[in-house]
Chains A and B, each alone.
Chain A
């Protein structure tokens, strides 16, 4: 299984060096990747359908418990098939859709990255790895939404999506870690057996809530839903793939995956029912007012995700069966509708449904695809959508509490709106009189319309032969979510009952709304007046408040003077160190335990004080620099006295170079002027003396720290045994703490590059003038 994840990742990175080849001749190989992966997973269907689970464990960071553990069960397989199957359609479609685009190679690199991340996510059997892939999907989605990076709206939407899903990821990580700590394992299949242990723990509700935030942000549940309509700025193939069929379902996957572990509690059920129920109705009503085809689809997607959350909240066997069927139903019709929308946008250069009409005359196959998808979305008998909707109503009616009517009517209302929305997106642009402006449109190439048509026909195929989908896909998915075995028996016809009555009612009401609802820019403007109540608006408010605060804070702290930064840093250090000194108690100084002063130590100190006096009193910069280097040399002399030759050598050379550097810089400065007033001089003197005093006190205190000797003993004893060296200082630098040294040298290199580019680039700019 690992190789299926890696294939995409490796190919994605290969697109960097071979971009030109991929843009031109090599693009034909791209669709083969998802198709082959899809075939790989199709071959697993028969064995998974009888209940076999495949696992693969590869150690990665065993000490942290983060290992590449993969597991393929019914739920994972369903998602893997969706990711690679819909992915195949999208890759074929996008290759044609973006033909000749200058960023063609980049687009596919992101898309492959996403596909691998998503596959990794649904296959992970380790919650830490799951999280890594979770974040990777957010990142690849960010790049894809901001794909048209010269458009500021596009960049803004990408950032919104990343912040919302990133924030959710942060909460998710916290939740997963709590879960791991409670149960003592990061392996999902081991968590299943620890359900009682986890739920009995007082932190379990917190973990559940954190998990919810992660899932809700990713799956665009109210109040985090608003990033999804914004994400429609991405090229249409991306919307079809990430933002309807796969990535947004990652949250649903997460909830489904953790249902056997955390599900069934009141907190779990009612949160999901309330959030999901509200989201599905809210978004479904919203979709009716949109004029942009993609906006309609975005809101109906949010609504569908709400339905799934709602069903997982209901949690009965019927509801879970309904959810596992509806995931497939929705992926098939929504991806189709997005792709037909993409074709319309590509050919007619507009997505406004108040303008589009009559396109069936110029692109019949696209119309057929749109029509079939719209019918499946409406739940007409003989489509897969019909079965999906029946199961949803069935779940609502069979819920074992006294709110059955409420749940069912919620579901019916949502579906009524979705019927209308589906018709608006799949049928409206194709019917009616063809305007003259569109009469020159020709049928696009086969690669564009065949993928949506295939998916749409698949939706009908499953509708006609539901037992195939039931037996091979939904059965084991349901078992995985429920945690126990049940039989899924999908039938084409359930007989005359309440469910059928509700289905017919839904269709009739939905059609009526479709006929009478004429979305227009005017109506859209009218509901946008209530935007100040929307979470999107509030989030933007919070965002701008944070920006304002940082502006104020920056203006307060950053005045651009080096001396003032020094001053603030030293004051801060004084407060912090002084406080620490204060609370750590008195200093006991035993003068008898110290070695007596020798005459050369006294001599060095007198030199130090003399140099100090010159620095403070001199009027020349050069003199003060030379005097400060005297201090450095005196200190290195002290190191010699206290037998630290390595330190002395380093201090000596460093001091020499610092002086040279100082001279080079000061040479270019104007003559020394006395600008500071006496008051400022006194202030600085106090700060400087305070800092010196605190550091001296700390040094004295260290003498009485009992454990300092252990560390040096360790290095002293092991330098020769472990690292074959006698110079302990050097051994620490190049061996014991070699990684530190490595990164310190990197820091040095970055500093040099900084100086180089600052000065050189400035020169280049002045040369231009």
Chain B
């Protein structure tokens, strides 16, 4: 499936789609979006790239094995779940910084939770698809 048109298109589509996925991830708390959808969009970006240029090429761009995203994401999830325990609060209590951060807005533990979901979703989907594709 090597088509020069698709190959050229993905060169520009990949960063745009990734940016879009981050956009979805960050706005999730107020508008449609969130870690899960963001992760799906990011995975689609990579899958599209792999269709155009081959899985080996995509893995080179990724630099790390997609499976390594899973433990990082899960650790983020668990950390943001148990972090309130350190302050003597029940687990999963939402913690927020006082001041909003430019561009991103309010930052709280829910955002890290969402980033964890984002990473796990990318890791899971790319692991499954690329493993099957390489088989």
Q: Which residues of A does B touch, CB under 8 Å?
A: 645-646, 649-650, 653-654, 656-657, 660-661, 664-665, 668, 722-727, 729-731, 733-735, 738-739, 741-742, 745-746, 748-749, 751-753, 755-756, 759-760, 763
The answer, yes or no, to whether B11 is at the interface (CB within 8 Å) is: no
* Complex CA–CA separation, A745 to B113 (angstroms): 11
Chain A residues with CB under 8 A of B133: 664
Known A653-B41, A738-B92; judge A726-B78 contact (CB<8 A).
no
* Complex CA–CA separation, A230 to B70 (angstroms): 45
Report yes or no: B30 in contact with A727, Cβ–Cβ below 8 A: yes
Q: Can you name 11 A-B pairs with beta carbons within 8 Å?
A: A646-B32, A649-B24, A653-B37, A724-B106, A727-B31, A729-B32, A734-B110, A734-B117, A738-B110, A745-B120, A749-B120
Q: How many Å from the CB of B10 to the closest CB on chain A?
A: 14
Q: What is the 8 Å Cβ interface bit string for chain B, positions 55-88, against chain A (1 contact, 0 not)? A: 0000000000001001001100110010000000
The DSSP consensus for interface residues of chain B is helix
The answer, yes or no, to whether B6 is at the interface (CB within 8 Å) is: no
> 3 closest Cβ contacts across the A-B interface?
A653-B40, A645-B32, A752-B124
Chain B residues with CB under 8 A of A665: 132
Q: What is the 8 Å Cβ interface bit string for chain B, positions 99-134, against chain A (1 contact, 0 not)? A: 000000010101001101100110111011101110
The answer, yes or no, to whether B135 is at the interface (CB within 8 Å) is: yes
Q: How many Å from the CB of A744 to the closest CB on chain B?
A: 9
Known A752-B124, A755-B127; judge A730-B34 contact (CB<8 A).
yes
Report yes or no: B131 in contact with A755, Cβ–Cβ below 8 A: yes
Chain B residues with CB under 8 A of A731: 29, 110
Which among A722, A723, A745, A746 has the highest number of chain B CB atoms within 10 Å? A745
Report yes or no: B94 in contact with A657, Cβ–Cβ below 8 A: no
* Complex CA–CA separation, A722 to B110 (angstroms): 12
Report yes or no: A759 in contact with B124, Cβ–Cβ below 8 A: no
* Complex CA–CA separation, A734 to B35 (angstroms): 9
Chain B residues with CB under 8 A of A748: 120-121, 124
Report yes or no: A726 in contact with B74, Cβ–Cβ below 8 A: no
* Complex CA–CA separation, A733 to B125 (angstroms): 19
Report yes or no: A727 in contact with B28, Cβ–Cβ below 8 A: yes
Chain B residues with CB under 8 A of A760: 131
Q: How many Å from the CB of A622 to the closest CB on chain B?
A: 13
Report yes or no: A738 in contact with B128, Cβ–Cβ below 8 A: no
* Complex CA–CA separation, A724 to B125 (angstroms): 30
Chain A residues with CB under 8 A of B53: none
Chain A residues with CB under 8 A of B131: 755-756, 759-760
The answer, yes or no, to whether B33 is at the interface (CB within 8 Å) is: yes
Chain A residues with CB under 8 A of B37: 646, 649-650, 653
CB nearest neighbor in B for A746: B74
Q: How many Å from the CB of A731 to the closest CB on chain B?
A: 7
Report yes or no: B129 in contact with A725, Cβ–Cβ below 8 A: no
Chain A residues with CB under 8 A of B29: 724-727, 730-731, 734
Chain A residues with CB under 8 A of B74: 745-746, 749
* Complex CA–CA separation, A751 to B70 (angstroms): 11
Q: How many Å from the CB of B20 to the closest CB on chain A?
A: 11
CB nearest neighbor in B for A760: B131
Cβ contact of B31, chosen from A668, A726, A738, A753, cutoff 8 A: A726
CB nearest neighbor in B for A745: B120
Chain B residues with CB under 8 A of A742: 77-78, 81
Report yes or no: B81 in contact with A739, Cβ–Cβ below 8 A: yes
Chain A residues with CB under 8 A of B108: 724
Chain B residues with CB under 8 A of A746: 74
